[in-house]
Chains A and B, each alone.
Chain A
Amino acid sequence: MIAQRRRLLRIGAAGIAVALFAVMVLAPEAFERPLAALTKFGQPAIYDRDSILALTLSHMGIVAAASLAALVIALAIGIFVTRPAGAQYLPLARAVANLGQTFPPIAMLAVAVPLTGFGARPTLVALFAYGLLPIFENTIAGLKGVSPQVVEAARGMGMTGRRILREIELPLALPVIIAGFRVSIIVSIGTATIGSTVGAKGLGEIIIAGLQADNLAYVLQGGVLVAMLAILVDLGLGFLERRARQPRSA
């Protein structure tokens, strides 16, 4: 009963969030009146230098590309260092992933721009490096969390290492891996806003334009759009994580 009510509540909240976000992206004029209260000296209340839809899609595209690349690489390395053959590389891989996380993204941008030029590329590099660690650590935690007895039984029954990975270890580690991906992508959605300082097209553009022109309405519009995007992605991945966690019973 309680679980069912909680589920309905979640679905309801998600529906409202999706609707609100859709209006903000597709018909930003709808919020002109409340936002106008925040402007001074007849400033425009709604960002009009580019379409909100185009900025949102570009923002999502950069984050998706960087996060998916981080997922593939972190997963591959995480699997490798938990195999007997790769175990000796675990400390090295950990050090590299930690470095990506401790190096501030803004500094990464500064380093990347001379190498890759302005635009989306330096942002992709920074987000990729920043997003590796949570996925990598959760992949290791998920794979190491699989009961040794389950793996021993699988091996003893004649499953090959590859089959054990595919049919036993990865499905059992999946919820933890999704949780890591979830953290990584949420952080990236927020962090991607700074990419606008080096010419990446994204929602950060609205916030930066607002800061430069001292227009609070722009800052709020950009900030809320980014936050809503993060919340929606979090809800979606949370749903996937729960699905992966519970074996459904007949």
Chain B
Amino acid sequence: MITVEALTKTFGPVRAVDGISFELAEGEALALIGPSGCGKSTTLRMINRLIEPSAGRVLIDGVDTTSIPPATLRLRMGYAIQGIGLFPHRTVAQNIATVPRLLGWPRARIAARIEELLELFGLPPAVFARKYPHELSGGQQQRVGVARAMAGKPAVLLMDEPFGALDPITRTRLQDEFLAIRRRMGTTVLIVTHDMDEAFKLADRLAVMEKGRIVQLDTPEALLRHPASAFVESLVGSEDRGLKLLSLAGVTALMQPATGWTAEADGTFRKAGADASLAPLSASASLREAASRLVFAGVDELPVVDEAGAMVGAIAMERIIAFGGGGR
């Protein structure tokens, strides 16, 4: 667990970070989000002491980080940055081995860890282990960068705009992959980003920063429903926040028992008295997808099926609309 207490950094007269406090629980993902110059990167870099705080302190599992030598502290914290910073004169395997080697792991354990991580990130070791960074695409380099940051099984993974330099399609794919890996490994993550969609997608809680202070620290849903200020409201995007809210919840949350639907032979379903049959919605869909399907089909109810195609319930438009209730 990471505890940040009244952390402050002044550069001359400027208070770049101004008395920030938060806690990061084991297995949690927290995003620091805000515009350029709001102090989010400085905060991240104070946690692994790349920047020394002017005041306040950081505790890792209750121990003050200033009592640990910086290099030793950083071995316990993974670090992935936007520019990736892969070592160009070392192979993919050697890059990933950096922290395990510094930790003095035995050779066999390092080799096993490299293999495990490359598999995890969809880079077959037989193909990629011996390649040099310049032989990889941008997305592959970024995967190796994150794998390298995770190699030493760090207590927390610090990420500074890790997917920032990628094209939108690769970025989305890497975010999905990373989310799956994080859920599987239970990694604790502190991520800095200026991209609200990325923060919503990857983080359990968001700390919105403005001028060196945290103006609101909440779950994505709470940020959307109850923004603390006009600044937060503009950051979460006031026009499509209803839709954003819907993308946070799954269709099963609002599902009711299906009545009056009959299955057709081709996998579609027909409501009693209706002319046409409708393709069902997957139970893993978000409310946003459900709303989109309902609007597109021009109906007020759709059947929901599980992976086997069996009907498990139905989702109604009026319940989706009610979900957004409470907003101004």
Residue ranges of A at the interface with B (Cβ–Cβ < 8 Å): 147, 149-160, 163, 168, 171-172, 247, 249-250
B88 touches A153 (CB 8 A): no
Closest A residue to B85 using CB positions: A153
Closest CB-CB distance, A166 to chain B, in whole Å?
13
Pull 23 A–B residue pairs with CB atoms less than 8 Å apart, ordered by A. A149-B81, A150-B87, A152-B83, A152-B85, A153-B81, A153-B84, A156-B79, A157-B75, A157-B78, A157-B98, A157-B99, A157-B102, A158-B74, A158-B75, A159-B71, A160-B71, A168-B87, A171-B89, A247-B90, A249-B130, A249-B131, A250-B130, A250-B131
Majority DSSP secondary structure for residues of A touching B: helix
Contact A153 B130 (CB under 8 A): no
Chain B count of residues within 8 A CB distance of the other chain:
31
Contacts between chains A and B (CB distance < 8 A), count = 73
Nearest residue, chain A, Cβ from B90: A247
List, in ascending order, chain B residues with CB within 8 A of A163's CB: 102
Residues of chain B within 8 A (CB-CB) of A250 are 91, 130-131
Quick check: B130 and A156 within 8 Å, CB to CB? no
Interface-central residue, B91, B98, B134, by most chain A CB under 10 Å: B98
Give the chain A neighbours of B81 by CB distance below 8 A.
149, 152-153, 156
Closest partner residue, chain A, to B95 (CB atom): A153
Q: How far is the CB of B144 from chain A (nearest CB, A)?
A: 11
B contacts, CB < 8 Å to A? 48, 50, 71-75, 78-79, 81, 83-91, 98-99, 102, 130-132, 134-135, 145, 148-149, 158
CB-defined contacts of B99 to chain A, threshold 8 Å: 157-158
B89 A247 Cβ-Cβ under 8 A? yes
Contacts of B145 in A (CB 8 A): 153
Return chain A residues, CB-CB under 8 Å to B91: 247, 250
Least distance between B246 CB and chain A CB atoms (Å): 38
* Cβ-defined contact, B102 with A156, below 8 A: no
Closest approach, in angstroms, between the C-beta of B11 and any C-beta of chain A?
A: 17
A150: B residues at CB distance < 8 A: 85-88
Q: Which chain B positions have C-beta within 8 A of A149?
A: 81, 83-85
Collect the chain B residues with CB atoms within 8 Å of residue A157's CB.
74-75, 78-79, 98-99, 102, 148-149
User: Which residues in A have their C-beta under 8 angstroms from that of B74?
Assistant: 155-158
Q: Which residues of A contact B132 (CB under 8 A)?
A: 247, 249
Q: Which residues on A sit within 8 Å (CB–CB) of B86?
A: 150, 153
**Closest B residue by C-beta to A151:** B85
Other than the given A247-B89, A250-B130, 14 more pairs (CB < 8 A) read: A150-B87, A151-B85, A152-B50, A152-B81, A153-B85, A153-B87, A154-B87, A157-B75, A157-B99, A158-B99, A159-B71, A163-B102, A247-B134, A249-B132
In the complex, how many angstroms separate the beta carbon of B125 from the nearest chain A beta carbon?
12
Residue of B nearest to A249 (CB): B132
In the complex the two chains form, what is the Cα distance from A172 to B149 in whole Å? 21
Cα separation A158 to B73 with both chains bound (whole Å): 7
CB distance from A173 to the nearest CB of B (A): 11
The interface residues of chain B lying within 8 Å CB-to-CB of A156 are 48, 50, 74, 79, 81, 158
Smallest CB–CB gap between B212 and chain A, Å? 22
What is the CB-to-nearest-CB distance from A158 to chain B, in angstroms, rounded to a whole number?
4
Which residues on the A side are within 8 Å of B131 (C-beta)?
249-250
Point out the residues of chain A lying under 8 angstroms from B72, CB to CB: 158
Q: Tell me how far the C-beta of B299 lies from the nearest C-beta in chain A, rounded to whole angstroms.
A: 53
Known: A153-B79, A156-B50. A172 touches B102 (CB 8 A): no
Neighbouring B residues of A152 by C-beta, 8 Å = 50, 81, 83, 85
Asked whether A158 lies within 8 Å of B84 as measured between CB atoms, the reply is no
Bound-complex Cα distance A157 to B132 (A): 19
In Å, the complex CA distance between A246 and B252 comes to 56
CA distance A143 to B282 in the complex (A): 56
Q: Which residues of chain B come closer than 8 Å to A159, judged between CB atoms?
A: 71, 98, 102
Is A158 a contact of B88 with CB atoms below 8 Å? no
Q: Say which residue of A155, A168, A172, A249 sits within 8 Å of B50 (CB atoms).
A: A155
Cβ contact within 8 Å between B135 and A147? no
* Residues from chain B with Cβ under 8 Å of A158 in the complex: 71-75, 99, 102
**Cα of A153 to Cα of B82 in the assembled complex, Å:** 10
Across-interface contacts of B88 in A (CB, < 8 A): 147, 150, 172, 247
**What separation, in Å, do the CA atoms of A247 and B89 have in the docked complex?**
6
Q: In angstroms, how far is the closest chain A Cβ from the Cβ of B135?
A: 6
Q: Considering the complex of A and B, which 7 residue pairs feature the smallest CB-CB distances, nearest first?
A: A153-B85, A149-B83, A156-B79, A158-B74, A250-B130, A158-B75, A149-B85
Assembly CA distance A151 to B132 (angstroms): 17
Highest count of chain A CB atoms <10 Å: which of B73, B79, B131, B135: B79
